Structure 1
Amino acid sequence: MQIQDDLINYEKIKLIIWDLDDTFWKGTLSEENTTLPQENRELIFKLNKSGIVNSICSKNDYDLTKKELVKYGVWDSFVFPSINWDSKAKRIKAIIEDMQLRDENVLFLDDNTHNLEEARFYLPKLMVASDKEIPKLIHKIKGFEDSDPQLKRLRQYKVLESKTKERTRFDNDNEFLHASKIKVTLHKDCSAVQGRLLELINRTNQLNYTKKRLTLDELEILLKDKDYDCRYMYVKDRFGDYGITGFYALKNNELEHFLFSCRIMGMGVEQYIYEYLGFPKFDRQGETTINLKERNVVTWINARSSLLKENSGDKYNIIAKGPCDISQTMAFFGDNNIVEEFTYVANNGMSVEGHNHTYGIIGSLTFSQEVKDEIKDDLIFVDENYFDTKLFNNDFDVFVYSLHTDANLGVYKKMGSLNQYVAFGEAAWPLTDEMCWAKYIEGEVFNSGVSFNIEFLKKFSTDYEFVGRISPEDFYDNLRLIRSLLSEKTLFLIINGSELIYENNRSESYSKREEVHKEFNSSLQKFVQNYSNTHLIDVNKFIVGQESYTDNINHYVRSVYYKIAKEIKEIIEVNHSHGIKVLPHKLITLGFADMIKKIAHTLKG
């Protein structure tokens, strides 16, 4: 198959996907030694410096191929490598989708005519070429300037590759986005970065909702026009920094420009900004990859609007512990002195949340170091930071907590122990039940990204017994003990669970969760009535219907989190203005030794 040079638009290429055997290198890896032509090696480096990234679609053994590419010093020059024995067309399609590109901006190189024809059949707009086109490619690319000498685009796709791999460890996209800790900031100094803004305005398509192209002079006039509110977006998350990735120009509640870089596609930034602006009007031009919704959807982006700081010069020392309802609520508290102990992703990629179960909190203080080390060594879902908390090490003004972790996780007790409890996974799927093992291993149920195996599950089932979801009575007792272990001055605020059924539930784990919440809420109500300096944040005041949810009963739209945060702010300011009242009328201050004895007695059995 001979692809004519004039059918390849080199100016449009953003990605080249390489076959390896007898294309990138000479020879077949599985049968003989390979040789990498120096000009091909230099071509990869030149492409990356020119802003054109490279991927691999090869029928080979992954480990052997990686070793060979490392030997040639080019492994890190590729992104999203697909190396296995499956047919190539679908893999090429997956690479392009994962990289958030369009088929027409991709060139596929392969020496095998069947692979090229198959790829072009499934992806008609894809550019394809045989290995005989490589010399022409080398000649063409030599004329390209090094527009990206620092390889920023390559690094950005490396970040996206890491995110794509980690996304598979989460039960759903919403959980992943919450764990990504996406931060978006808006900036008004547009003239200082007008070169980047001009590039965005004229080159973006997939997330450009207005598609009004400008010259530099026209952009300068726009930015100087005081009738327009012009701002650009700076985006980052825990995976990396994406830089300036969006721009809008707003006048009289109508968007003249509204556009975003495809590098942040899938993060929800465009929807978040649309919500932030109050759903202004705009004249949509052409097709876009993502449609905007005229309702609040995004709950995972922390814009840090500094709610607590408004109307108050005070800052309070706050600690917040819990899952995504806590993290989304505390996003409104800006740069106050907040210690955040949320669900987190460990170094090995697993999601950790059991540390914020009431049993986890108590264990962090009462377990000996020997017991903690034993648990960390024995349990693959407990990482080295599991027992690290600042809750009892500082005199916090406020402790904000959520019951969602206790209402969700399963609890396990060490055989023969009095009080050695750990919490993990959804209570509907016991780790000790052999019928659930395959589901955990294959990821058919939420496994927090833990790589379970039969050997571990057998040993765990021998060492631990499944208690079930913590009972509302034990939840009450654990809260009582935590309250007594806190500093006397600490204001204890607890967010309860929604009692309105989520009608679109498809998860067995969340079946009848509203009934579970009613039971826990009842215990929580009793707890706050019996102890002063302790307050209930009732989300049910803010849940007005199905429109208050996103994808399950525990995930709310942004306006709900705002109202929760606002009530927390009011409670804090009222208590501080009058002096925080301490010492619950039914709480006896105990010496530490007596407290440990009391904990052990309460948790016994």
Structure 2
Amino acid sequence: MAIHFSVTKALLESTVWTWGPLNHPPLTTSLRFGSDGLIKDYEHTNEYSWKLTGNLLEIFDIHGKMIWKFEGIFNNQDSITLVSFPHNDPQWGVFFALRASKANIPSHLLLASELPVPTVPAQPQQPAPQAAAKLPDAKTAQPSAPTAKEEGIRLVIWDLDDTFWEGTLSEGEISPIQRNIDIVKTLNGRGIVNAICSRNTFEDVKARLEQLGIWDEFVFPRISWGPKGPLVKDIIEKIQLRPETVMFVDDNVTNLNEAKHFVPELNVAEPDVLESLLDNPRFKGKPDPEYSRLKRYQVLESKHKDMAATGGDNEAFLRKSDIRVSFHSDIEAEFPRIHDLVNRTNQLNFTKNRWPEDIEEARLRFREEVEADFDTDVGYVKVADAYGNYGICGFYLSRKDEFLHFLFSCRTMNMGVEQFVWRRLGERHVPIQGKVGSKLEDPIVDWINVVEDVDKATETSSASANRLKVCIRGACDMMMTSNFLRTKVDTVEELNYAYEGWEIIASPRFVALNRDLKDERNKEIIARLPGIPEGRFETDILKETSDAYVLSFSQESFHGLYQSKTTGMILPMGHFGLPYHLPGGPTDKFDYTSVSHDELVNKYGVEHVSPEQWDFFRNEFVFLGGFNKDLFLKDLRYIFNRMMSAQKKVIIIGLNQTVGRDHKLLEFFAEINSIVRPLAEKYKFDYIDLNDIIRSEDDLVKDGVLGGAHFDRPVYKAISDRILSLLPASVA
């Protein structure tokens, strides 16, 4: 009579288990069952947690799906074996087993678990292995495009012996199969790359494939005598493709099943699929006569080899890679590539807002997205490093600090490009859709340099270190201009923004207020006011770290002025919920001190202001009205003197005073110009007259108002070009 075995929780948790395909080399010899219900000392998404119900052990994947149910328990003389068929995919056609040596099981648990039962076979009878899933034959396949479950194949991994060629290389001469050689070359010409996973000696395989003139047609060859499952997984991880787009071809069904265990979403097939492979719509690819995709993966392979030489320290490797990016705004000129990025990228497409497949419909959609909001920033990113030029790899489009599109090609995977670009664009909100291949918050990237254009082979990282740093200070016009400028220079943006409903403007008054804040009483007054964010009075005009300063003064019309009764300090104040200006025009301002706290909250909907703060403001400050010419001129002289003493390049952007329908606003802009332009000429600062650029209402933003303060995108591009023409080439 044989001894049956009863599985207990104590037994599972106290024993070290060997795990892998039955009657094959194990995947691990150290699997443990944790008391917290998790699998320990072995990591795979298919084996994550466990549960014991009665005498039945079940193992679940990382998503909580039951993968293994151990219905076979076999008690041999020196070991215990628990056997399961893969319940998530019966096509695997292979049993997996947990095995433990009795010598390693505590004796009291062993005795408690053994029960006399009728004799059972020492090994289960395995069903005949099922053939791996095949692709539909080209003669019967539907001519329509692949479904979502049958994506186009982007990588074919080849077994060699009795698959790519006839015979076994280690046992003697092999016979090449010309059809397969032609398939590899044809696939490369379609942008579908080829890799190798073979049990052989690397040097022998390389020599034979070189004789056949096809060694360089493959990337990421994995040639060794080890198990193929981990090798296939390694190829896919290194080449950075999703398994659904990869096909593994092997004549041994066990190898296919093993690979599918390690990469469940992998496509697998036996060699007879090769007869009609090129006619199958999943292998259609895209014409790539220059083998550009193969070359990119050869570069990637070279990078992995060099990274291995650094001991696997990815950041150390990246710091040596001379990674460069450039920002560009000519979207229409590169629209076919950008259209492809938007609709094809997945792993690093954070927003996944697709365009129509028809390129002209997509172009119309893009234009609608750009024109839907004045505050739209759009551009694309090129990437290059010491190994090559990757071309256009990223695209972004944001509105009001939120991205509608933020995406990158997998060519840049693990380079830190997406993190670098996100931070450089101000860490705007990214509404992430679906799964993505990285986190934007980590790592903090300091190994990437911005250059004017990565396509310029002579521009190196040392040149990028000499890029100009330009401080841009102003309102909406400067915000849009900055979007174009940052593609050529490093920018420091001091622009208008909202804080708890208060409008924070870049007026000269807030630079000059730094003189008032030397008085501790003024600091105490500021600390008791609402709407003052931390760092409100910081400016690069005083830090003097930039090489050039671009200044605009349209925001002088925005806020009313309030003077402290205690110290005489004059402070502009403005809130989006309160009246902007009165019927008299931009200088006719609404008096905030006339509003009670109850009206502030209940009539105007202002939040984050306590009764104590508001009462202090009303009692401490006197309303002076709107724009004050003498104060403005005084503040300008303070700034201009600082800039001249620091010998900084200064460019003044004049205001539009002739084109538009808001005549009071245009009159006010004309007054500002009449003050600023003569002073700029006196200090020998450059001055850009906007009315040399803005000729008609066609140049104004199509907002239904045509007031004259906001312009169409080509105008901002023209302003940017004028600024760039006035800047020195680089920092000496």
Q: Does 1:55 align with 2:188?
A: no
Query: In the TM superposition, what are the counterparts of 1:588-603 in structure 2 within 5 Å?
Result: none
Aligned to 2:366, which of 219, 222, 228?
219
Q: Aligned to 2:175, what secondary structure does the other structure show? A: coil
Note if 1:268 corresponds to 2:409.
no
The letter for the 1-side match of 2:191 is G
- Superposed, 1:130-149 pairs within 5 Å as 130-140=270-280, 144=284, 147-149=287-289
Q: Which of 282, 304, 310 is the equivalent residue of 2:430?
A: 282
Runs of 4+ in 1 over 6 A off after TM superposition: 7-10, 327-330, 565-570, 573-577
Among candidates 154, 169, 173, match of residue 29 of structure 1: 169
What CA distance in whole angstroms lies between the structure 1 residues aligned with 2:450 and 2:546?
18
- Secondary structure of the residue aligned to 1:198 is helix
Show the counterpart of 2:135: 5
1:475 matched residue in structure 2: none
Alpha-carbon distance in structure 1 between the residues aligned to 2:208 and 2:644: 66
SS in 2 for 1:282: coil
Q: Which among 340, 353, 356 is matched to residue 199 of structure 1?
A: 340
Residue 46 to residue 252, structure 1, CA distance change in 2 (3 Å):
same
Any residues of structure 2 matched to 1:182-197 within 5 Å, and which?
Answer: 182-197=323-338
Q: Counterparts of 1:246 and 1:184 in 2: how far apart (Å)?
A: 10
Identify if the C-alpha distance between structure 1 residues 97 and 137 changes in structure 2 by more than 3 Å, giving closer, same or farther. same
Q: Offset at 1:220?
A: 3.6
State whether structure 2 residue 412 is matched by structure 1 residue 255.
no
- Is 1:45 the counterpart of 2:185? The answer is yes
Determine if the alignment matches structure 1 residue 86 to structure 2 residue 226: yes
Cα distance between partner residues in 2 of 1:92 and 1:566 = 55
- Equivalent residue number for residue 298 of structure 1: 445
- Is the aligned partner of 1:103 residue 2:251? no
Contact 1:190–1:223 (Cα < 8 Å) also in 2: no
Q: CA deviation at 1:330?
A: 8.1
Over aligned residues, Cα RMSD in angstroms? 3.3
Aligned partners of 1:233 and 1:296: how far apart in 2? 19
Matches of 2:150 and 2:164 in 1, distance apart? 19
**Within 1, Cα distance between the matches of 2:282 and 2:260?**
27
Q: Does residue 333 in structure 1 map to residue 463 in structure 2? A: no
Q: 2:318 — aligned with what?
A: 177
Q: Once the 2 structures are TM-superposed, how far is the Cα of residue 329 of structure 1 from its aligned partner?
A: 9.5
CA change 1:91–1:566 in 2 (3 A) is: farther
| Number of aligned positions between the proteins | 328
Q: CA deviation at 1:219?
A: 2.1
Q: Distance in 1 between matches of 2:208 and 2:468?
A: 49
Helix, strand or coil at the partner of 1:150? coil
Matches within 5 A, 1:400-411: none
**TM-score, reference length from structure 1:** 0.50
**What secondary structure, in the 3-state scheme, does the structure 2 residue paired with 1:250 have?**
strand
| Deviation at residue 262 of structure 1 after TM alignment | 0.6
8 A contact 2:451–2:461 mirrored in 1 = no
Per-residue Cα deviation, 1:188-218 (whole angstroms, up to 9, x for no partner): 0001111111111111111111111112131
Q: Is the 8 A contact 1:88 1:119 kept in 2?
A: yes
Q: Give 1:332 shift.
A: 3.8
Distance 1:566 1:168 in 2: 43
In 1, the alpha carbon distance for the partners of 2:286 and 2:365 equals: 28
Report deviation, 1:136. 2.5
CA distance in 2, matches of 1:76, 1:255: 41
Q: Is the 8 A contact 2:351 2:404 kept in 1?
A: yes
Query: What TM-score do you get using the length of structure 2 for normalisation?
Result: 0.42
CA distance in 2, matches of 1:165, 1:42: 28
Higher normalized helix content (fraction of residues): 1
For the 8 Å contact 1:18–1:57, the answer to whether it is kept is yes
- Secondary structure of 1:206's match? coil
Q: Which amino acid aligns with 1:190?
A: I
CA contact (8 A) 1:198 1:219 kept: no
Q: 1:18 touches 1:108 (CA, 8 Å); kept in 2? A: yes
Q: For 1:142 and 1:40, how far apart are their aligned partners in 2?
A: 17
- Indicate if the aligned counterparts of 1:181 and 1:301 stay in contact, CA closer than 8 A: yes
CA distance in structure 2 between the partners assigned to 1:286 and 1:184 by the alignment: 26
Does residue 1:210 correspond to 2:358, yes or no? no
1:365 aligns to what? none
Could you list the per-position Cα deviations for residues 325-354 of structure 1 after superposition, in whole angstroms to 9, with x for gaps in the alignment?
Answer: xx9998542289xxxxxxxxxxxxxxxxxx
Matches within 5 A, 1:67-86: 67-86=207-226
Change (3 A) 1:567 1:214: closer
Higher relative contact order (CA 8 A, sep 6+): 1
Instruction: State the 1:6 CA deviation.
Output: 3.8
Matched letter for residue 270 of structure 1? E
Note if contact 2:323-2:383 (Cα within 8 Å) is conserved in structure 1. Answer: yes
After superposition, residues 552-567 of structure 1 pair within 5 angstroms as none
C-alpha contact 2:394 2:408 (8 A) present in aligned 1: yes
Q: 1:244 corresponds to which residue?
A: 392
Match of residue 298, structure 2, among 158, 161, 172: 158
Change (3 A) 1:131 1:296: closer
Superposed displacement of residue 4, structure 1: 3.1
- How much does 1:11 deviate? 4.3
* In 2: Cα distance, 1:289 partner to 1:154 partner: 22
The answer on whether the counterparts of 1:46 and 1:146 sit within 8 Å (CA) in structure 2 is: no
Question: Rg: which structure is higher?
Answer: 2
SS state of the match for residue 339, structure 2? helix
Distance 1:258 1:153 in 2: 23
Structure 2 Cα separation of the partners of residues 130 and 117 of structure 1: 11
* Secondary structure in 2 matching 1:81: strand
Pairwise mapping of residues 372-391 of structure 1 onto structure 2 (< 5 A)? none
Letter paired with 2:368: I
Matched position secondary structure for 2:169: coil
2:468–2:547: 8 Å Cα contact kept in structure 1? no
1:101-133: CA deviation from partner (whole Å, max 9, x where unpaired):
111111000011111111112211111111121
In the alignment, is the contact (CA less than 8 A) between 2:422 and 2:428 conserved in 1?
Answer: yes
Give the alignment of 1:431-442 within 5 angstroms.
Answer: none
Say which SS state the counterpart of residue 51 (structure 1) adopts: coil
For 2:413, give the aligned amino acid: M
- Give 2:293's aligned amino acid: R
> Could you say if the C-alpha distance between residues 166 and 285 of structure 1 is closer, same or farther in structure 2, counting changes exceeding 3 Å?
same
1:253-295 deviations in whole A, cap 9, x for unaligned?
A: 11111000011000000000110011111211111110111x7
Identity %: 39
CA distance in 2, matches of 1:209, 1:187: 20
Q: Is the 8 A contact 1:299 1:328 kept in 2?
A: no
Distance 2:393 2:329 in 1: 14
- Between Structure 1 and Structure 2, which shows a larger proportion of strand residues? 2
Cα separation, partners in 2 of 1:305 and 1:111, compared to 1, 3 Å = closer
- 2:236–2:242 CA contact under 8 A, matched in 1: yes
Quote how far apart the aligned CAs of 1:151 are. 1.0
Q: What code does the residue aligned with 1:205 have?
A: N
C-alpha deviation, 1:148, in angstroms: 1.2
Q: Distance in 2 between matches of 1:4 and 1:163?
A: 34
C-alpha change, 1:567 and 1:219, in structure 2 (3 Å) is: closer
- Cα offset for 1:73? 1.1
Q: Distance between the aligned counterparts of 1:244 and 1:286, measured in 2?
A: 23
CA contact (8 A) 2:326 2:383 kept: yes
Q: Cα distance 1:78–1:329, how it changes in 2: closer, same or farther (>3 A)? A: closer
Quote the offset at 1:223 in angstroms.
4.6
Q: Which amino acid aligns with 2:249?
A: L
